Structure 1
């Protein structure tokens, strides 16, 4: 697949205008390019994409099937860049730039993104196989056009300024739009072709996501899906910056985040879990007794951690705790001694069936959490991404309605 960061911004604008106006001549005047230059630019873009975007006829130009899928993504990407540049100039108390895509280049933006990512001109140059002066010149020209500093040196590394952070985020979102457009074009010849990057939280890793992935790959073997593990805040930052497409797991309060929306899939309860033969096995759950044992706890702010803190609101907290977001490490600790943890049924059902772990309590009152999908509010999924979300919802619906697997699990617990 072509790298959208190499697409010429003028060529993208030209394609969008041809689609809007329906003729090379009118688009040429609109973008201030000669007709031969515009025609050559679109031809190069079509070569990079591997598909014709327009049918050239005597009466004008009409988008092909590929063009109908790709051009709306181009418009969204260019709008993102225009609004970003407008914001940066406004914050800097500078006059707006009309059609910023005519003043900045994809080469400049690509150089900036690599410097932002690696923190140095030399490493960015090495990654891009360019000279260091070329990278420095490209980023400096970008700063001159925008009229603000985008990078500042902190110790040995270059870090983005506030304007640089905004530019980096919005350029990555624009590139995500173009990649989605390429995926949509690929789906014309290959069903469910494309890429999806998922940030997963602890509960979704155990059963929900594996079940959905297995079912989806049965009908979409050509899909390229990347699953990343990490803490919620890290995933949220990556989601807002276009580096991942969705987060799957326990939902959080997002009232202060106007750019984020969430979809609940099902509700889930917590249990106190320990090894088979734990001293509390068969004993009533008493707060003082729970305080006597070491605990594996979640990260601060995580729903599971907040419930754990409420659990010991009126009694002394355990003196031995390990903060851990890894289900594998949690399981290992529980099996190694008298450790306790709060877990969802999905997270220990295999070990329970093997006689290794068991719930030491029933469903804990007030522990119910919404499990679902977190995404950008303005996200427009590709055909592959939309199809996977439907599969995920199907798996969740079966869980809610009492599918065979879930019924067996509830019977064990």
Structure 2
């Protein structure tokens, strides 16, 4: 956002709630001219009127309503965490101080935090000292190896990250009023999403919103989930976990996928029908890593059967394709991922005597997440890929 002065943003909410400059100044314990100046600056920063001025009071414009909605969501996350440490912090904590606190929580070191923020080390140290002085308590335990945050400080840092993400979303919401694209959409992509769901959806989205930045993050599920919960990632696309990994995320099922066994075109099992488990077990395998839904199904199917040693763990269809093409390895992977490789004749599907259970594929996002218009548009395009037969 252009303006991230927390005091000004709180005054904007106060005017929206009371409809009067005088009442807002009383609620915020500042002068009426200070409220007037804050609203004027916000309107300049955000490119238009946030309030209609009438004799009856101040009323939010559509632009102002979009901002106020995001601010409520941000402060609803931030304020309880601030108050849990000290009610005074709601009045005194600044954006810069909270940024410094979050960086120190994550790095456990003031010097590393300063480097991350591109600030001088004394600046970050002073920000932490000021927060602790206002809170009347230590927020970190000073240890020989660094600074360890208290439980409440860790909770505050997470609330700060999520509140900051709402501010980012506000920038995108307000840009819509001017026909602009702002911010970026961050997608956590699991293997199946990278090869099946996302490519065409992104091509279609780019044709509609050519200026919107999109970042696709590859990674392991646990890493992506951490990024999602802290606000760095907007949505994860791929295999869902059963049960859901934690209560603050929502899983939206799009379709069910089944595993398949693939091999190089030269493999002895190619062309056979109803290949039993014991015949498959005679060959080495390339399989997804431990803990993934696909690997759990694979392990359950071969439980009690001796497999050749030295299983190769790999979730990439490209790597798996090259390994099976150059050896007698078998690959176990998502049927959706393997479809294009099989249709092009690059690998062969083994006709196995297995009735694989379906694996739920879909979207994972934060509970109570409110996507921007462009984010909603991209999600709808991903959903439409399923409706059009991508599953």
Q: TM-score, normalised by structure 2?
A: 0.91
Is the CA contact (8 Å cut-off) linking 1:275 and 1:357 kept in structure 2?
yes
- Check the 8 A contact 1:56/1:62 in 2, yes or no: yes
The whole-number CA distance in structure 2 between the counterparts of 1:148 and 1:330 is 55
Deviation sequence 1:225-265 (CA, Å, 0-9, x none): 11101111111111111111111111112456221111111
Which residue of structure 1 lines up, in the alignment, with residue 80 of structure 2? 83
The residue aligned with 1:386 is 376
Change (3 A) 1:366 1:68: same
Pair 1:33-2:30 in alignment? yes
> For 1:144-184, what per-residue CA distance to the aligned partner results, in whole angstroms no more than 9, with x for missing partners?
44455444567745454433332221111111111111111
Tell me how far 1:373 sits from its aligned partner.
0.6
- Alignment gaps of 5+ in structure 2: none
In 2 relative to 1, CA 213–256 (structure 1 residues): closer, same or farther, beyond 3 Å? closer
Alignment of 1:94-113 (within 5 A): 97=87, 100-113=89-102
Q: Deviations over 1:253-294 (max 9, x none)?
A: 245622111111111111011111112212342323322322
* Cα distance change of structure 1 residues 112 and 51 upon mapping to structure 2, 3 Å threshold: farther
Structure 1: distance between partners of 2:143 and 2:209: 46
Residue 358 (str. 1) matches residue 348 (str. 2): yes
Q: Which residue is 1:188 aligned to?
A: 177
Give 1:81 deviation, angstroms: 0.8
**Distance of 1:66 and 1:378 partners within structure 2:** 22
Superposed displacement of residue 363, structure 1? 8.7
Number of positions where the alignment pairs a residue of Structure 1 with one of Structure 2: 390
Q: In the alignment, what sits opposite 1:217? A: 206
Aligned equivalents of 1:164 and 1:299: distance in 2?
A: 35
CA distance in 2, matches of 1:363, 1:241: 43
Match of 2:215 in 1: 226
In the other structure, the counterpart of 1:55 is: 52
CA-atom RMSD, angstroms? 2.4
- 1:28 Cα shift? 0.6
Counterpart in the other structure of 1:42: 39
Deviation at residue 56 of structure 1 after TM alignment: 3.2
Please say if residues 100 and 113 of structure 2, whose CA atoms lie closer than 8 Å, have aligned partners that are also in contact.
yes
TM-score (norm 1): 0.87
**Structure 2 CA distance, aligned partners of 1:270 and 1:286?**
15
Cα distance change of structure 1 residues 127 and 313 upon mapping to structure 2, 3 Å threshold? closer
1:72 aligned to 2:84?
Answer: no
In the alignment, structure 1 segments of 5+ residues that lack a partner are 90-95, 401-405, 407-413
